[in-house]
């Protein structure tokens, strides 16, 4: 198997794994609150990241890095995983999984828009066209096709979902200045975010016994969404001769995710979700495929 074939295989495995997490979020939230899911999934993710460091024989780097970089790790960990997943899981608790996951895919466009005030970058014409197309898709999903009424099926849930894209995009913008090795950096972030999740659950009175189904779901979410799959994706990106070829695989994820939501969660897929998701993916492709000018 060639390097490119291995890269493609690893990339497809990562995309398939990520396609399952919307269903896992929704099923886990039947047994856990959003805050509890953040807590137990973060613990599972930290365990998986430490296992990866052990497998790489790099555990000895952890404590020295923690002493030197705890401030940066605390700041980034407060955003991801703590605040980001707390808000995202709240959106999933309020919305059907198909709607929450579709809106969440606008984060890449949100990152482009935020790069203007935060990084001083210029907004191009196709970025504006992509933004209008993507957020029209959000309106179609949020109103379930009743655009003229502007009556959202769950306005609070849509706002939480959009807020999660702001946090996720902000996290990646600030992470561009983070020179730490990714797996070690994530492990440090999760280590310092875990006490925040414990404290939040304590303040909410949610440090209580939970069903094993919730713990199992949180373990899956932590390992797949936040842990091992990230390493699969990084490995694919390192092996490939074409970053764009691997990055384009991510467009398969929402389609597979919708099918799994229908199959596993049992949600009937709405025509408005398909139309809105089509607009969102179309907007992202428009931004990606046509370089244009500022």
pLDDT tens-digit map of 129-154: 888 888 899 989 988 888 766 667 78
Cβ atoms < 10 Å from Cβ of 100: 27
Query: Pick from 274, 222, 218: which is nearest to 98 by CA?
Result: 274
pTM value is: 0.90
Q: Would the pLDDT of 125 be above 90?
A: no
pLDDT digits (tens, 9 = 90+) for 166-181: 998 888 888 777 788 8
The confidence score (pLDDT) of residue 160 equals: 96
pLDDT higher than 50, residue 293: no
């Amino acid at each position: 198997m060639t390097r490119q074939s291995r890269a493609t295989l690893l990339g497809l495995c990562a995309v398939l794994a990520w396609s399952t997490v919307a269903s896992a979020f929704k099923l886990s939230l039947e047994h856990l609150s959003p805050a509890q899911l953040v807590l137990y999934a973060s613990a599972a993710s930290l365990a998986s990241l430490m296992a990866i460091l052990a497998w790489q024989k790099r555990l000895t780097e952890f404590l020295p890095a923690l002493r030197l970089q705890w401030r940066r790790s605390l700041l980034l960990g407060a955003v991801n995983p703590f605040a980001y997943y707390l808000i995202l899981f709240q959106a999933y608790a309020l919305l059907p999984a198909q709607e929450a996951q579709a809106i969440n895919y606008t984060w890449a466009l949100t990152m482009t828009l935020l790069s203007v005030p935060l990084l001083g970058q210029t907004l191009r014409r196709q970025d504006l066209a992509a933004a209008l197309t993507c957020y029209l898709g959000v309106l179609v999903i949020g109103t379930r096709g009743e655009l003229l009424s502007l009556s959202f099926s769950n306005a609070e849930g849509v706002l939480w979902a959009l807020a999660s894209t702001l946090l996720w995009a902000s996290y990646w913008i600030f992470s561009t200045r983070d020179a730490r090795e990714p797996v070690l950096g994530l492990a440090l972030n999760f280590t310092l975010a875990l006490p925040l999740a414990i404290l939040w659950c304590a303040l909410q009175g949610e440090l209580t016994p939970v069903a094993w189904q919730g713990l199992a779901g949180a373990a899956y979410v932590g390992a797949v969404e936040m842990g091992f799959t990230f390493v699969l994706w990084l490995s694919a990106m390192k092996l490939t001769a074409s970053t764009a070829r691997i990055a384009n695989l991510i467009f398969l994820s929402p389609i597979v995710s919708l099918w799994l939501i229908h199959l596993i969660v049992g949600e009937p897929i709405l025509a408005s979700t398909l139309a809105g998701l089509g607009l969102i993916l179309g907007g992202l492709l428009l931004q990606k495929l046509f370089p244009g000018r500022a």
